[in-house]
């Protein structure tokens, strides 16, 4: 594995301590341009621990200079020449300290660790010339960790230590026959946070860097082959994945190694291939290759888990996902660790597999882990709500109140808009009403909440009027639902007249008219079917379900929609009816997917014998995708020993003819 010593080849240097009397002086340096939003945070994170602050301004037009001066910084001006190294070296020339702390304006010492600077430096051996710090790249908007990397941000003030390269500048030690010896600081002593890769600023920076890099490459390709990587990284941020693949391949062909970004070379290549929809086996080859190079890095095991999960190899995916978690928890190498930005996907994967294994308690724990990292993680929220929606309403509200701040507008917006998609109308009403009192909105959430709670007279006219003005298909769906559930003839006539023909046809048929549905009507029926499952009473549901007779697979359509909403008992009833219907039609064979869905519902209802019987029928009818082996394996141990069913299941699992 790469380590700090092996990558940088640090050796003992002869850099002397400049003061032997113990009066060590620390200079904090920075270059800045239009950083008024973040510069104070940076300076305040170390201001009390340093002796002077040097800010080199490269052309600010905002309050950057005034803020820096107000915090005691000495401000110098440097005419920008498209060269970050030159500007930083100018700052070094102004510094008088024994040690330099060089942060960018959008970096800062986190958790008050900047206060440890002086005591940390005093403890260092005299031969140590630099300090590498752990850095968390954070998204400032969401607060999420993007990745973790290690950078040298502290070093001795020595004329032989200077920055090189106009963009993506790095430190070098020019003393002949010696290299800079660095100490890696424990994250508890010194930790830096960086917000420069936040989504709201990263594309602007990537475009700036790309322009500079392409210009440099015109004259300096052979001298700096690492530019290939930095160009690829810029294109990755900008979403031009074809160029990412091109430039990463060019970089790999050079054989050059980067200080702490070699993992990222492979990760952005894999990401680009995924976005370009390369064949799965080609992407998996890249993943396996990266694992061979970095066997202790967590990221590539996550990628492997994702591929296995997508291929319905759930047990194997579980093993790789857990390995990724364990490696992350103990990861101490200086190579960049991109796994944190994938934690939401990782926890959702583990939660889904837990559900597949009928372990709802574990699934809830994983979804909660995802929401603790990002409380606006929509998929985790949706899956968690389906698992807890049958709990008492006051318990659901109490639980959500531990995750979300009722005085936070964004939190209330998320709850109101997300709960619209779940069959908990009273909980939706609670948060929507709270939001309207504190932060009134002109949106459709309130109208949908009224429909969900049966307040059709208060919602219908406004819904229809909004649809006529906006033409939003989502409004058409909710308007049609309100008209049908209201039982109001006038509403029905108005909706039939104003809504798209597909919804009008469904409403006509719902009223009892004879209507022949086409494919467009089928798509609308599927959507309105979901809103009925969420909001309608049993009588209204049954009335709508009867319209499914017009579709050859109408029973399966209803069963599928119940399954999607996690209503496995209801889904099973419709899939079983679909099987019986197919068996009764002697000219039709039962589609293997019907047996499979029967088995899945029975599995989720913890009926292993009936589930195994259905899965065996699906297998024998031709359904042999990977997931059926997983479900049979999970149910095999629960089957009676020595039974013919268990023998048959084991033969299928182990592919015995």
Q: Domain 4-196 maps to which CATH number in 3.40.50.9100, 3.90.550.10, 3.10.690.10, 3.30.300.160?
A: 3.90.550.10
- The CATH homologous superfamily to which domain 201-360 belongs is Tetratricopeptide repeat domain (1.25.40.10)
pLDDT above 90 coverage of the chain, percent = 86
For 170, the 3-state DSSP assignment is strand
Q: pLDDT value at position 23?
A: 84
Single out the residue of 634, 142, 119, 57 nearest to residue 340, CA to CA.
142
Per the prediction, the chain carries an average pLDDT of 92
CATH placement of domain 552-657: 1.25.40.10
Other CB atoms within 10 A of residue 563 CB:
20
What are the backbone angles phi and psi of residue 108, rounded to the nearest 5°? -165, 155
Q: pLDDT value at position 525?
A: 95
pLDDT tens, 379-411?
Answer: 999 999 999 999 999 999 999 999 999 999 999
**How do beta strands 52-57 and 26-32 pair?**
parallel
pLDDT tens, 107-140?
Answer: 999 999 999 999 999 999 999 999 999 999 998 8
Q: pLDDT value at position 158?
A: 95
pLDDT tens, 133-191?
Answer: 999 999 888 788 889 999 999 999 999 999 999 999 999 988 766 778 899 999 999 99
Mean pLDDT along residues 34-62: 97
- The confidence band for 20, taking pLDDT boundaries of 50, 70 and 90, is very low
Residue-wise burial string across 404-427, b where 16 or more C-beta atoms lie within 10 A, e elsewhere: beeeeeebbbbbbbbbbbbbbbeb
Q: pLDDT value at position 218?
A: 80
Q: pLDDT value at position 219?
A: 72
Q: pLDDT value at position 467?
A: 95
Asked whether residue 313 carries a pLDDT value surpassing 60, the answer given is yes
Q: CA–CA separation, 251 vs 436, rounded Å? A: 55
R_g over Cα of the chain: 31
Mean pLDDT along residues 457-483: 95
Q: pLDDT value at position 177?
A: 63
Other CB atoms within 10 A of residue 439 CB:
14
- The confidence band for 6, taking pLDDT boundaries of 50, 70 and 90, is very low
pLDDT tens, 212-224?
Answer: 999 888 876 556 8
Q: Are 499 and 528 in contact (CB under 8 A)?
A: no
Helices (H), 311-342: 314-329
Intrachain domains 4-196 and 552-657 with the same fold: no
Mean pLDDT along residues 433-452: 92
Q: Are 569 and 605 in contact (CB under 8 A)?
A: yes
Residue found under tokens 């920008």: 80
Structure tokens at 229: 């990587």
Q: CA–CA separation, 279 vs 176, rounded Å? A: 50
Mean pLDDT along residues 427-439: 95
Count of helix runs (H) and strand runs (E) in the chain: 31, 11
Mean pLDDT along residues 522-530: 95
Mean pLDDT along residues 289-310: 97
Element (H, E) at 29: strand 26-32
pLDDT tens, 498-510?
Answer: 999 999 999 999 9
Helices (H), 255-313: 262-275, 280-293, 299-310
What are the backbone angles phi and psi of residue 88, rounded to the nearest 5°? -70, -40
For 346, the 3-state DSSP assignment is helix
- The confidence band for 202, taking pLDDT boundaries of 50, 70 and 90, is confident
pLDDT tens, 235-244?
Answer: 999 999 999 9
Asked whether residue 41 carries a pLDDT value surpassing 70, the answer given is yes
Which residues are paired to 55 by β-bridges? 30, 75
Q: CA–CA separation, 144 vs 600, rounded Å? A: 35
Query: Running DSSP on this structure, what letter comes out for residue 185?
Result: P
Asked whether residue 652 carries a pLDDT value surpassing 70, the answer given is yes
SS (HEC) of 101-168: EECCCCEEECCCHHHHHHHHHHCCCCCCCEEEEEEEEECCCCCCEEEEEEEEEEEECCCCEEEECCCC
Sign, CA dihedral 352-353-357-362, equals negative
Asked whether residue 597 carries a pLDDT value surpassing 70, the answer given is yes
Q: What is the reported pTM?
A: 0.87
Q: pLDDT value at position 9?
A: 37
Q: pLDDT value at position 376?
A: 94
pLDDT tens, 331-375?
Answer: 999 999 999 999 999 999 999 999 999 999 999 999 999 999 999
Domain boundaries, the chain: 4-196, 201-360, 552-657
For 548, the 3-state DSSP assignment is helix
pLDDT tens, 410-426?
Answer: 999 999 999 999 989 99
**How do beta strands 107-109 and 52-57 pair?**
unpaired
Q: CA–CA separation, 634 vs 603, rounded Å? A: 9
CA atoms within 13 A on the CB side of 335: 25
pLDDT higher at 74 or 197: 74
Q: CA–CA separation, 532 vs 515, rounded Å? A: 20
Q: pLDDT value at position 657?
A: 62
* 142-148: long-range contacts, CB 8 A cutoff, minimum separation 24: 142/199, 142/374, 142/376, 144/340, 144/341, 144/373, 144/374, 145/340, 145/341, 145/343, 146/197, 146/338, 146/340, 146/341, 147/336, 147/337, 147/338, 147/339, 147/340, 147/341, 148/331, 148/336, 148/337, 148/340
């Amino acid at each position: 594995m790469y380590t700090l010593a092996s990558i940088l080849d640090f050796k003992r240097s002869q850099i002397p301590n400049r003061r032997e009397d113990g009066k060590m002086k620390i200079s904090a340096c920075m270059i800045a341009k239009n950083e008024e939003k973040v510069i104070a945070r940076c300076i305040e994170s170390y201001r009390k621990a340093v002796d002077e602050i040097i800010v080199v301004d490269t052309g600010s037009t905002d309050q950057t200079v005034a803020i820096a001066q107000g915090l005691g910084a000495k401000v110098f001006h440097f005419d920008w020449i498209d060269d970050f190294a030159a500007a930083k070296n100018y700052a070094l020339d102004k510094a008088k300290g024994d040690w330099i702390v060089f942060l960018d304006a959008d970096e800062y010492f986190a958790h008050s660790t900047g206060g440890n600077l002086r005591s940390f430096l005093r403890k260092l051996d005299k031969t140590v010339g630099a300090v590498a710090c752990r850095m968390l790249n954070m998204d400032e908007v969401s607060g999420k960790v993007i990745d973790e990397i290690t950078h040298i941000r502290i070093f001795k003030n020595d004329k032989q230590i200077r920055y090189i390269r106009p963009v993506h500048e790095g430190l070098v030690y020019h003393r002949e026959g010696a290299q800079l010896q660095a100490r890696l600081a424990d994250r508890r002593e010194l930790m830096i946070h960086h917000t420069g890769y936040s989504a709201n600023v990263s594309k602007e920076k990537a475009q700036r860097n790309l322009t500079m890099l392409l210009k440099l490459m015109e004259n300096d390709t052979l001298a700096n082959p690492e530019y290939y990587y930095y160009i690829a990284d810029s294109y990755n941020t900008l979403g031009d994945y074809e160029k990412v693949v091109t430039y990463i391949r060019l970089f790999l062909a050079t054989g050059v190694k980067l200080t702490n970004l070699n993992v990222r070379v492979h990760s952005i290549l894999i990401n680009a291939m995924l976005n370009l929809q390369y064949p799965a086996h080609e992407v998996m080859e890249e993943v396996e290759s990266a694992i061979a190079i970095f066997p202790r890095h967590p990221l590539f095991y996550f990628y492997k888990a994702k591929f296995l999960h997508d291929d319905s190899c759930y047990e194997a995916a579980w093993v790789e996902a857990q390995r990724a978690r364990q490696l992350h928890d103990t990861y101490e190498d200086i190579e960049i660790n991109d796994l944190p930005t994938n934690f939401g996907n990782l926890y959702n994967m583990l939660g889904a597999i837990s559900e597949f294994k009928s372990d709802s308690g574990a699934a809830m724990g994983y979804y909660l882990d995802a929401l603790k990292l990002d409380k606006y993680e929509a998929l985790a929220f949706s899956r968690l709500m389906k698992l807890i929606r049958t709990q008492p309403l006051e318990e659901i509200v109490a639980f959500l109140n531990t995750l979300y701040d009722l005085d936070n507008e964004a939190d209330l917006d998320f709850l109101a808009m997300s709960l619209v998609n779940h069959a908990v109308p009273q909980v939706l009403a609670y948060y929507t009403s709270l939001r309207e009192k504190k932060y009134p909105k002109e949106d459709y959430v309130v109208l949908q909440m009224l429909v969900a709670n049966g307040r059709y007279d208060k919602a219908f006219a406004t819904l229809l009027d909004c649809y006529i003005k906006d033409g939003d298909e989502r409004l058409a769906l909710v308007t049609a639902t309100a008209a049908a559930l209201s039982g109001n003839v006038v509403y029905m006539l108005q909706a039939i007249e104003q809504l798209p023909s597909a919804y009008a046809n469904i409403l006509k048929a719902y009223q009892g008219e004879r209507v022949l549905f086409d494919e467009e009507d089928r798509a609308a029926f599927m959507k309105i079917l979901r809103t009925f499952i969420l909001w309608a009473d049993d009588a209204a549901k049954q009335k709508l379900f009867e319209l499914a007779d017009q579709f050859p697979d109408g029973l399966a359509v209803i069963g599928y929609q119940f399954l999607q909403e996690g209503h496995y008992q209801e889904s099973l009833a419709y899939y079983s009816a679909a099987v019986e219907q197919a068996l009764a039609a002697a000219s039709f064979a039962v589609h293997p997917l019907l047996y499979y869905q029967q088995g899945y519902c029975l599995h989720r209802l913890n009926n292993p014998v009936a589930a195994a019987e259905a899965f065996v029928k699906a297998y024998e009818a031709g359904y042999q995708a990977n997931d059926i082996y997983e479900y049979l394996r999970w149910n095999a141990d629960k089957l009676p020993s020595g039974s013919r069913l268990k023998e048959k299941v084991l033969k299928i699992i182990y592919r015995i003819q």
